[in-house]
Chain A
Amino acid sequence: MIAVTGIGWLNHKEYGLAIGKIKKPHEGIDSLYSRFKHESYFLYPVKNFSRFDIISKMTCFCAALALKDAGILYSGDQKKEIGIFGTNETGCLESNLDYFRDYIESGRILARGNLFIYTLPSIPMAEAAIHFGLSGPLLHIAFNDGKISSLLSFAGKSIMEGETPSILAVKAEEASAVCFMLQKGDSVSAGKGLYLDNVIALSDKSNFEEMITSLTGSFDLLPDNPNKN
């Protein structure tokens, strides 16, 4: 059985932990980095954070929140066998445009490596993997139904197949992001997680705020021994 042990989310005005039922306002994405350091969501500085593209920043913010919600401490030096799967609606389109416009504006003389790096859709997950020390599988997946439930189901199956014991499943857009910490049920303490199937059922709301409200609402916590199910 797979449990969801942490859910972190943020949009242009708030961020929160769904299982911990914490919701806080903020004054814009640009103000969040120092706030996350102050509140220990980032346990140490995120290297090169100011150079990240917006999807990478959103990915790191919501991954930090999901890990906090799951009660998982992390260290870049002591890697954990956690995978990270990401999806979003437009991949790295904006970063592709930023990089290529910059190159054309230079007279096709000088491309900038710092912009080119973000033209791979898997790079936001890689930035998170480096900071949080995630050594499991890393993929960007675009499902043609575009649903978060497809990502959660895909990640759950990867755990069931024994490919990794846990996965952060992220959907990060420019204006909002949500991240789910998925773990094998037998590695979760009683009452600390949610049934993956329940989370999947609530994850496909058309509106981000509606989805977060549903996820933060009341639903069944894991029983004393999740393996019985």
Chain B
Amino acid sequence: MIKAVAVACDMVTPYGWGIDPCWKGLMSGITAIRRIDRFSTVNLHTDNAATVPGLKAVKNKSLIMQMLTPLLSKIVPGIPEETFVILATTTGEIEILERFVLNKKSEAKKSLPGNLLDKIITLAGTDGKGMVISAACASSSAALSKAASMIRSRELDCVLMVACDCVSEFVTAGFSSLMALDRDKAKPFDKNRQGLSLGEAAGYMLLMSDERADREHRSVIGEIAGWGLTNDANHITGPSKDGIGLSMAILNALESAGVSENEIGSISAHGTGTIYNDSMEMRAIKKIFGQRPVPVYSVKGGTGHTMGAAGLLETIISFCSLDKKVVPPTVNLRDIDREAEGWVSSGQQSFESPVTLSTNSGFGGVNSALVLKKALKKAEEIL
């Protein structure tokens, strides 16, 4: 069977430019959530978010393009011209719309993710084929699953998946109105968690069939081995309390990968820090893994919730963890919730299996699960 493998990836996160600062930041247990200095937070539920250091709102270049341009420019020579591009985002270049409403500058239509896709295609130098996938906060994990599916079915043999979202007044005010934000900093799986902290990130993953990667002597980072997408069909903003939707996504992903639950060595949870999400996730995980505690962690106490980019960021970190056989601490976890005891830790947890699971959920009840496998040969120069 054809395998869908990652041959290149990079990202910018609130820990800085590149994968290494993010991995090291998470492993240090120090959060990158900081005070917002981009817009006034006087009337918002929190002053904090995980923003990329040095990123500033300017007239001529969106925050998103400030993140994507340096990242993609570096790998243009390695992107085949016929590569299909998938963009995953929830709001894309939303500042363009903000400026339109505030100053009547530009055109609101220019904020559409389709326009951003065109810019990415131009930047990447590919021949124009692409799509935008949006599934709320599961956007990039859903996009990765579709990219892998198109490769495994031999429809395509090279896909560039780009994911991005930024911290904006538009989004922060919205989450604030839903009372979904922690006033301080997100504390996933903590007894005293109060909500999420927003974050921003951008990144890409170049995926190929294993045949093509081998033919072109590409370093392989890891395999997107299986995937499952489901919907709770229950509530527009809240997850289904029983976790059935997410557990079905996990089961579908295991089946798609042809692995059993016993082969999963660790789990990158969505772990937003909201009361209901984290509780639902532990129930879903326990439904599948029973009483066998698997190391579970969330990166969102460190990176914040990077929305449409979360699935990509977490997949890259999952590949790092497979490479190093250790999962990072769940940052900001002080007093563990009873449901997560024995599974989630404020410290690093080691594991041996070369297979891991990454899950995401989002508004509208969307759930995604990805089964990821370690590369047979180590790709030291990438991770």
Residues of chain A having any CB pair with chain B under 8 Å: 76, 79, 83-84, 90-91, 93, 96-97, 99-101, 103-104, 108-113, 116-117, 119-123, 125-127, 129-130, 132-144, 150, 154, 157-158, 160-163
Q: List the 9 shortest-distance A-B pairs measured between CB atoms, nearest first.
A: A126-B364, A116-B174, A137-B229, A111-B173, A142-B132, A111-B177, A113-B177, A140-B134, A138-B231
Contact B133 A139 (CB under 8 A): yes
Contact A100 B236 (CB under 8 A): no
- Cβ of B176: which chain A residues have Cβ within 8 Å of it? 111
Interface string of B128-142 (1 = CB under 8 A from A): 111111111000001
Within B137-184, which residues are at the interface with A (CB < 8 Å)?
142, 146, 149-150, 152-153, 155, 169-170, 173-178
Contact B232 A93 (CB under 8 A): no
Q: A108-B173, A135-B231 are in contact. Are A123 and B364 (CB under 8 A)?
A: yes
5 contacts between A and B (CB under 8 A): A96-B91, A122-B363, A140-B133, A160-B153, A163-B227
A106 CB to nearest chain B CB (Å): 9
In Å, the complex CA distance between A119 and B92 comes to 12
In Å, the complex CA distance between A157 and B145 comes to 13
Q: A99-B174, A144-B130 are in contact. Are A129 and B233 (CB under 8 A)?
A: yes
Tell whether B98 is near chain A: CB-to-CB under 8 Å: yes
Q: A111-B174, A116-B177, A144-B118 are in contact. Are A138 and B134 (CB under 8 A)?
A: no
Option from B98, B109, B231, B256 in Cβ contact (under 8 Å) with A93: B109
Contact B231 A129 (CB under 8 A): yes
Q: A100-B97, A110-B177 are in contact. Are A76 and B233 (CB under 8 A)?
A: yes
In Å, the complex CA distance between A140 and B94 comes to 17
* CB nearest neighbor in B for A106: B43
A180 CB to nearest chain B CB (Å): 18
How many residues belonging to B are interface residues under a CB distance threshold of 8 Å?
61
In Å, the complex CA distance between A93 and B170 comes to 13
Within B239-296, which residues are at the interface with A (CB < 8 Å)?
245, 248, 252, 256
Main secondary structure on B side of the interface with A: helix
Tell whether B90 is near chain A: CB-to-CB under 8 Å: yes
Contact A119 B174 (CB under 8 A): yes
* CB nearest neighbor in A for B255: A162
- Cβ of B129: which chain A residues have Cβ within 8 Å of it? 144
- Cβ of B118: which chain A residues have Cβ within 8 Å of it? 144
Tell whether B237 is near chain A: CB-to-CB under 8 Å: yes
* CB nearest neighbor in B for A105: B101
- Cβ of B231: which chain A residues have Cβ within 8 Å of it? 83-84, 126, 129, 134-138
* CB nearest neighbor in A for B152: A161
Tell whether B76 is near chain A: CB-to-CB under 8 Å: no
B240 CB to nearest chain A CB (Å): 10
* CB nearest neighbor in A for B248: A135
In Å, the complex CA distance between A2 and B321 comes to 40
A119 CB to nearest chain B CB (Å): 7
In this complex, the member of A112, A130, A132, A135 whose beta carbon has the largest number of chain B beta carbons within 10 angstroms is A135
In this complex, the member of B101, B175, B232 whose beta carbon has the largest number of chain A beta carbons within 10 angstroms is B101
In Å, the complex CA distance between A166 and B111 comes to 33
A4 CB to nearest chain B CB (Å): 20
Q: A100-B98, A138-B229 are in contact. Are A123 and B112 (CB under 8 A)?
A: no
A177 CB to nearest chain B CB (Å): 18
* CB nearest neighbor in B for A140: B134
Contact A123 B363 (CB under 8 A): yes
In Å, the complex CA distance between A160 and B149 comes to 11
Contact A130 B235 (CB under 8 A): yes
- Cβ of A129: which chain B residues have Cβ within 8 Å of it? 231, 233, 364-365
In Å, the complex CA distance between A76 and B231 comes to 12
Contact B173 A103 (CB under 8 A): yes
Contact A142 B131 (CB under 8 A): yes
In Å, the complex CA distance between A126 and B260 comes to 30
Within B75-129, which residues are at the interface with A (CB < 8 Å)?
90-91, 94, 97-98, 100-102, 108-109, 111-114, 117-118, 121, 128-129
Contact A104 B101 (CB under 8 A): yes
Contact A135 B133 (CB under 8 A): no
Contact A135 B174 (CB under 8 A): no
B159 CB to nearest chain A CB (Å): 13
In Å, the complex CA distance between A154 and B43 comes to 43
Q: A93-B111, A108-B40, A110-B43 are in contact. Are A139 and B177 (CB under 8 A)?
A: no
- Cβ of B252: which chain A residues have Cβ within 8 Å of it? 163
In Å, the complex CA distance between A136 and B248 comes to 10
* CB nearest neighbor in A for B97: A96
Option from B152, B170, B230 in Cβ contact (under 8 Å) with A137: B230
In Å, the complex CA distance between A137 and B114 comes to 22
Known: A129-B365, A139-B134, A157-B153. 16 other contacts (CB 8 A): A100-B97, A100-B170, A104-B102, A111-B176, A119-B170, A122-B136, A123-B136, A126-B364, A127-B236, A133-B233, A137-B231, A138-B364, A138-B366, A139-B135, A142-B114, A150-B131
Contact B101 A140 (CB under 8 A): no
Tell whether B234 is near chain A: CB-to-CB under 8 Å: yes
B64 CB to nearest chain A CB (Å): 15
A90 CB to nearest chain B CB (Å): 7
Q: A117-B236, A123-B364, A129-B233 are in contact. Are A138 and B173 (CB under 8 A)?
A: no
Q: A143-B131, A157-B155 are in contact. Are A130 and B365 (CB under 8 A)?
A: yes
* CB nearest neighbor in B for A112: B177
- Cβ of A154: which chain B residues have Cβ within 8 Å of it? 131
